[in-house]
């Protein structure tokens, strides 16, 4: 079988590397830039200093600072039209996952269509997206090294995925200084999402020795740096946390994401659950579910998470890994379970059926019953019945 590993994004990192942003843009080269951010980041000194520096460097800057908790189709379509109208030739995204996903959506639509709805799915557009420079202000989504963007369609209550080889960011600038502005809760949520990317990437049918090595090291770095980065604001830990979240996404960009992300999608689209809460509550259980069919990989990953596996069976090592993940949640104040308000019990059967299409644009079967398999590249096939059980576990029932 043919296998492939592709990651063309240039990654630069280190304390204060953001001050050199102009030199990366000059290399492209571009002149008119749209800077995408959210209202909170727009008020941070590092943001205003970056804009001033870019202006001094001779770039013409337009700013879109209305991103919210999710990337939205309406924002993307409107700003892509603005790019065409104003001859904007590059997008700089400074923010968390939703900001970077908005910037990527704009970059794709600006060169390919009138609306993001026309380019959803994997590789469903022909022209190279506008050049993108990404500055993540959370150590989480990994969107800065990913070809994909996840966008909320408010009209249809859906989360849409789009992207392909022509929509990788051009440059990712990982500067731990920008994480200082991040509230602890937001830092925790994004870090748990990043950990889930490493876990999911390790247990798919598309994983390779390349992605396994990156996912394992990402998880090890994350476990070693999250407490220091988030609770103590330790500078070295912040840097490692940023690197680890990018690594986790490089792994899942190639090996894809699995059941936890597939099952989280309907919770996000229909119940408005934040993405990290959905995936974070599901991933310990989907890890255990998958590891049952690949016990050696489960054990190796448990070891990567810091579990002392000496004398443990594979099943015990995986259980210990699940405990380790929950201990991390406790230390960071992340909930072990979803509440009944977040995932009402009577909605679970619906959610399990709505999870069937997965996140990569698979065709939905006409009839969905308890034996229908959720579309996901995870190593173990999950039926609607299994998904129901996983939702119950994630709800602490």
Residues that bind Fe ion (CB under 5 A): 193
Q: Taking the complex as a whole, how short is the minimal distance between the CB of residue 84 and Fe ion, in angstroms?
A: 30
Q: For residue 239, what are its two tokens?
A: 């840097």
Least spacing, CB of residue 196 vs Fe ion, in Å = 6
Q: Cis omega (within 30 of 0) on the bond before 29?
A: yes
The CA-atom distances, in angstroms, between 207 and each of 30, 215, 230, 266, 270 are: 36, 10, 29, 25, 30
Is the separation of the CB atoms in 360 and 255 below 8 Å? Answer: no
- Our CB check for Fe ion shows the closer of 83 and 195 to be 195
- Which is nearer to Fe ion, 47 or 334 (by Cβ)? 334
3-state helix, strand, coil in the chain (%, to 5): 55, 15, 35
Residue 272's contacts (CB-CB under 8 Å, 6 or more residues apart) are: none
Instruction: Specify whether the CB–CB gap between 71 and 151 falls below 8 A.
Output: yes
Which residue number, 146 or 303, has a Cβ lying nearer to Fe ion? 146
Residues 6+ apart with CB under 8 A from 156: none
Question: Closest approach of Cβ 155 to Fe ion, in Å?
Answer: 23
Q: How far is the CB of 267 from Fe ion (least distance, A)?
A: 13
**Beta-bridge partner residues of 35:** 63, 92
169-200 CB burial, b ≥16 within 10 A, e <16? bbbbbbbbbbbeebeeebbbbbbbbbbbbbbb
How far apart are the C-alpha atoms of 140 and 150, rounded to whole Å?
Answer: 14
Nearer of residues 144 and 193 to Fe ion, judged by Cβ: 193
- Least CB distance from residue 53 to Fe ion, whole Å? 31
- Find the shortest distance in angstroms from Cβ 262 to Fe ion: 11
| Closest approach of Fe ion to the CB of residue 30, in Å | 29
Q: Nearer to Fe ion by C-beta: 54 or 182?
A: 182
Residue nearest to Fe ion (CB): 193
Least separation in angstroms between residue 142's CB and Fe ion is: 8
Tokens at residue 37, please?
């951010």
Whether 257 and 197 have beta carbons less than 8 Å apart is answered as yes
Tokens encoding 366: 């006409």
Comparison of 103 and 142: residue with beta carbon closer to Fe ion: 142
Which residue, 97 or 239, is less far from Fe ion as judged by CB? Answer: 97
Comparing CB distances to Fe ion, the nearer of 193 and 268 is 193
Closer by beta carbon to Fe ion, 238 or else 261: 261
CA distance 100 to 91: 10
Closest separation in Å from C-beta 65 to Fe ion:
24
Q: Reduced to 3 states, what is the DSSP secondary structure of residue 33?
A: strand
- CA 354, 143, 266 angle in degrees (round to 5)? 10
């Amino acid at each position: 079988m043919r296998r492939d590993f592709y990651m063309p994004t240039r990654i630069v990192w280190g304390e204060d590397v953001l001050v050199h942003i102009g030199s990366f843009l000059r290399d492209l080269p571009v002149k008119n830039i749209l800077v995408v951010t959210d209202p909170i980041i727009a008020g941070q000194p590092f943001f205003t200093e970056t804009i001033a520096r870019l202006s001094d460097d001779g770039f013409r800057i337009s700013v879109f600072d209305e991103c919210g908790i999710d990337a939205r189709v309406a924002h993307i379509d409107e700003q892509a039209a603005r790019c065409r109208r104003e001859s904007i030739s590059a997008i700089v995204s400074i923010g968390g996952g939703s900001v970077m996903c908005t910037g990527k959506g704009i970059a794709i639509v600006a060169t390919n269509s009138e609306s993001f709805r026309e380019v959803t799915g994997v590789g469903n557009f022909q022209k190279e997206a506008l050049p993108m420079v990404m500055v993540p202000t959370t150590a989480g989504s990994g969107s800065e090294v990913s070809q994909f963007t996840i966008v909320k369609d408010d009209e249809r209550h859906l989360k849409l995925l789009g992207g392909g080889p022509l929509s990788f960011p051009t440059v990712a600038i990982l500067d731990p200084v920008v994480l200082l502005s991040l509230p602890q809760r937001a830092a925790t949520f994004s870090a748990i999402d990043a950990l889930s990317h490493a876990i999911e990437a390790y247990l798919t049918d598309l994983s390779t020795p390349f992605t396994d090595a990156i996912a394992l090291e990402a998880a090890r770095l994350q476990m070693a740096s999250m407490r220091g980065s988030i609770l103590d604001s330790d500078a070295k830990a912040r840097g490692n946390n940023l690197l680890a979240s990018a690594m986790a996404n490089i792994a899942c960009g190639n090996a894809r994401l699995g059941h936890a992300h597939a099952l989280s999608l309907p919770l996000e689209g229909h119940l408005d659950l934040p993405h990290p809460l959905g995936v974070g509550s599901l991933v310990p259980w989907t890890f255990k579910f998958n590891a049952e069919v690949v016990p050696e990989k489960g054990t190796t990953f448990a070891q990567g998470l810091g579990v002392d596996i000496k004398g443990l069976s594979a099943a015990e090592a995986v259980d210990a890994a699940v405990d380790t993940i929950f201990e991390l949640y406790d230390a960071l104040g992340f909930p072990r379970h979803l509440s009944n308000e977040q995932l009402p019990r009577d909605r679970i059967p619906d959610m399990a059926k709505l999870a069937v299409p997965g996140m990569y644009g698979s065709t939905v079967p006409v009839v969905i019953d308890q034996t229908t398999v959720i579309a996901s590249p995870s190593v173990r096939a999950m039926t609607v019945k299994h998904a129901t059980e996983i939702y119950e576990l994630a709800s602490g029932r």
